[in-house]
């Protein structure tokens, strides 16, 4: 099983029968379903395919539902994709009408508000660059500075413009509820600006009794200013390098990635790095050397999860791409990764101290594994952020928790019955360590748990345990 986890976006390329299972066999730990490209009806078969692959492999797989957020998109081209050429003039208006070579519609009614001559417009993740020449009523006229192919529903970025859009849209609220109905394990909120955006989504979910970990996608400059508060409110963050690079300048992304990952590690929160990690494998069977280095450096910087987007959703070589990602991540595990102390709050100081003790004991007595009994996944997540050099078996009686742990660095989620006392924990540890080849009789493991057993948030115990033969 992977130490750094691999998250694959599902799409048309993964819809044929057997492909999702093949991705899992190649090393996929979780699947991303993108609500920007289809709602509940489109995503339900993909979630079902993940659950079938889970059964076939006998290990949990996470499903992350990615909400669209206030993404501005152009309309559709009834006559097929076009190519914008440098020097051409384009008119852009709000609405949902058809697009063509010289006329684009966008689903943002306030396009002209704040639009000024000289401001930039980027299309399709920044590949196309337009500059505004004039604004008349609700019509914006722009000249193409960098052209290229353009097709239906590509994204629009307006750097420096104060967008009059809520972070959490009505569609997001509907899609979040649908994600709960589909049994998703994480929900990612796009274009987060502040901690209140995460709080609002969590409150919406809690009204229906749902408690799903929330991932804040960092794509806007405002999010960087509010990073620590967002980390406290969210369960994890995604360095969404596509829109982030357009908004702040792609030359700033490497430094920001390092900063975000370091802060997430200190906060004990899951960190995902996404966008163009192995982009060339969308159409080629091998990546570039630069892409290989990019993936490895993200892991060294502290990524818990590396994500594939179009490479698996629409690429020609989805399985080969996952195999390559796994090969890179295994090699990168031996490279130096920064270790930081967890910055704790009152409610988790004991758990963080226990995790610190585990790391010190690993260094002193060299156990072969850690057995972490967890009801919520919290203990496993804290251990993951400290990058233990030995496997962490996340022993969880709850299926949803095991699926979450599938995306925690170095964690091997294993199903157990509820353990009701220390003696039962020892017996379960022996059974699981031996059954999954994590230890042999006589080898030492560290047991991390909470007593009294059965509660969430009670991590308070470390035990050095010699594995016993049955």
Question: Any idea what the CATH number is for the domain that residue 79 is in?
Answer: 2.40.33.10
Q: Is pLDDT larger for residue 14 or for residue 353?
A: 14
Residues 282 and 196 placed together within one structural domain of the fold? yes
Residues 61 and 80 placed together within one structural domain of the fold? no
Residues 170 and 312 placed together within one structural domain of the fold? yes
Quick check: 346 pLDDT over 60? Answer: no
pLDDT in tens, 186-226: 999 999 999 999 999 999 999 989 999 999 999 999 999 99
pLDDT in tens, 251-310: 999 999 999 999 999 999 999 999 999 999 999 999 999 999 999 999 999 999 999 999
Q: Is pLDDT larger for residue 183 or for residue 115?
A: 183
Question: Residues of the chain with pLDDT > 70: what percent?
Answer: 96
Residues 283 and 308 placed together within one structural domain of the fold? yes
> Model confidence at 24, in pLDDT bands (50, 70, 90)?
very high
Residue 337 lies in a domain: no
Domain holding 131, by residue range, is 72-157
Residue 339 lies in a domain: no
Residue 138 lies in a domain: yes
Residue 395: what pLDDT?
96
Report the C-alpha gap between 466 and 444 in whole angstroms.
5
Quick check: 347 pLDDT over 60? Answer: no
Where among 126, 157, 188 does a domain terminate?
A: 157
Residues 93 and 42 placed together within one structural domain of the fold? no
Where among 108, 125, 157 does a domain terminate?
A: 157
Residue 338 lies in a domain: no
Residues 353 and 408 placed together within one structural domain of the fold? yes
Residues 277 and 356 placed together within one structural domain of the fold? no
CATH for 170: 3.20.20.60
Quick check: 403 pLDDT over 70? Answer: yes
In the chain, the number of structural domains is 3
Catalytic residues: 32, 73, 217, 275
Residues 221 and 194 placed together within one structural domain of the fold? yes
pLDDT in tens, 57-67: 999 999 999 99
pLDDT in tens, 324-333: 999 999 999 8
Residue 68: what pLDDT?
93
Residue 405 lies in a domain: yes
Residues 63 and 100 placed together within one structural domain of the fold? no
pLDDT in tens, 229-263: 999 999 999 999 999 999 999 999 999 999 999 99
Quick check: 451 pLDDT over 90? Answer: no
The three-state secondary structure class of 205 is helix
Residue 340 lies in a domain: no
Burial classification of residue 368, based on how many CB atoms lie within 10 Å of its CB (0-12 exposed, 13-18 middle, 19 or more buried): middle
Residue 48 lies in a domain: yes
Q: Which two tokens stand for residue 126?
A: 């920044």
Residues 191 and 216 placed together within one structural domain of the fold? yes
> Model confidence at 345, in pLDDT bands (50, 70, 90)?
low
The three-state secondary structure class of 6 is strand
Where among 332, 358, 381 does a domain terminate?
A: 332
Residue 340: what pLDDT?
65
Report the C-alpha gap between 32 and 10 in whole angstroms.
6
Residue 362 lies in a domain: yes
Q: Looking at beta carbons, which pairs linking 121-124 to residues 24 or more positions away fall under 8 Å?
A: 121/92, 121/156, 121/157, 121/158, 122/156, 122/157, 122/158, 122/159, 122/246, 123/74, 123/150, 123/154, 123/155, 123/156, 123/157, 124/148, 124/150, 124/154, 124/155
Q: Which sign does the torsion angle of CA 385, 386, 387, 391 carry? A: negative
- Contact between residue 71 and residue 191 where contact means Cβ atoms under 8 Å apart: yes
Residues 365 and 223 placed together within one structural domain of the fold? no
Mean pLDDT over 374-379 rounds to 90
CATH for 449: 3.40.1380.20
> Model confidence at 457, in pLDDT bands (50, 70, 90)?
low
Q: Is 194 left (phi over 0), alpha (psi -120 to 50) or beta?
A: beta
Residues 377 and 279 placed together within one structural domain of the fold? no
Residue 2: what pLDDT?
86
């Amino acid at each position: 099983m992977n130490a750094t986890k691999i998250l694959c976006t599902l799409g048309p390329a993964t819809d044929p029968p057997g492909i999702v299972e093949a991705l899992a066999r190649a090393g996929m730990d979780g699947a991303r379903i993108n609500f920007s490209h289809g709602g509940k009806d489109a995503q339900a078969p993909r979630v079902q395919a993940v659950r079938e692959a889970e059964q076939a492999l006998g290990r949990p797989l996470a499903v992350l539902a990615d909400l669209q957020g206030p993404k501005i998109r152009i309309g559709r081209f009834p006559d097929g994709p076009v190519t914008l050429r440098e020097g051409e003039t384009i008119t852009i208006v709000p609405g949902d009408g058809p697009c063509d070579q010289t006329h684009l519609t966008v689903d943002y009614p306030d396009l002209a508000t704040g639009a000024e001559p000289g401001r930039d417009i980027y299309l399709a993740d920044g590949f196309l660059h337009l500059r505004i020449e004039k604004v008349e009523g609700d019509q914006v006229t722009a000249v193409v500075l960098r052209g290229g192919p353009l097709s239906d529903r590509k994204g629009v970025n307006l750097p420096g413009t104060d967008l009059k859009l809520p972070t959490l849209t009505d569609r997001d609220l509907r899609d979040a509820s649908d994600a709960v109905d589909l049994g998703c394990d994480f929900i990612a909120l796009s274009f987060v600006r502040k901690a209140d955006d995460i709080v609002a989504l969590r409150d919406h979910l809690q009204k229906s009794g749902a408690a799903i970990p929330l991932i804040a996608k960092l794509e806007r400059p405002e999010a960087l200013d509010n990073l620590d508060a967002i980390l406290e409110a969210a369960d994890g963050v995604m360095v969404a390098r596509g829109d982030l690079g357009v908004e702040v300048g792609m030359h700033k992304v490497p430094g920001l990635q390092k900063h975000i990952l370091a802060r997430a590690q200190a906060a004990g929160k899951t960190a995902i790095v996404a966008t163009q990690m192995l982009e060339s494998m969308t159409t080629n069977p091998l990546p570039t050397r630069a892409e290989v280095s990019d993936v490895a450096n993200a892991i060294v910087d502290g990524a818990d999860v590396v994500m594939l987007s179009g490479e698996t959703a629409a690429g020609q070589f989805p399985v080969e791409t996952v195999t390559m990602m796994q090969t890179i991540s295994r090699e990168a595990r031996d490279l130096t990764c920064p270790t930081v102390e967890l910055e704790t709050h009152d409610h988790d100081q004991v758990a963080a101290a226990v995790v610190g003790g585990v790391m010190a004991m690993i260094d002193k007595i060299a156990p072969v594994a850690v057995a972490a009994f967890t009801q919520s996944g919290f203990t496993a997540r804290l251990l993951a952020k400290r990058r233990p050099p030995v496997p962490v078996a996340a022993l969880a009686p709850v299926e949803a928790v095991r699926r979450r742990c599938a995306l925690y660095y170095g964690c091997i989620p294993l199903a157990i019955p509820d353990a009701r006392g220390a003696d039962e924990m020892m017996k379960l540890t022996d059974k699981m360590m031996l059954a999954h080849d994590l230890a042999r009789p006589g080898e030492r493991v560290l047991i991390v748990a909470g007593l009294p057993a059965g509660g969430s948030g009670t991590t308070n115990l470390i035990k050095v345990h010699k594995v016993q033969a049955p």
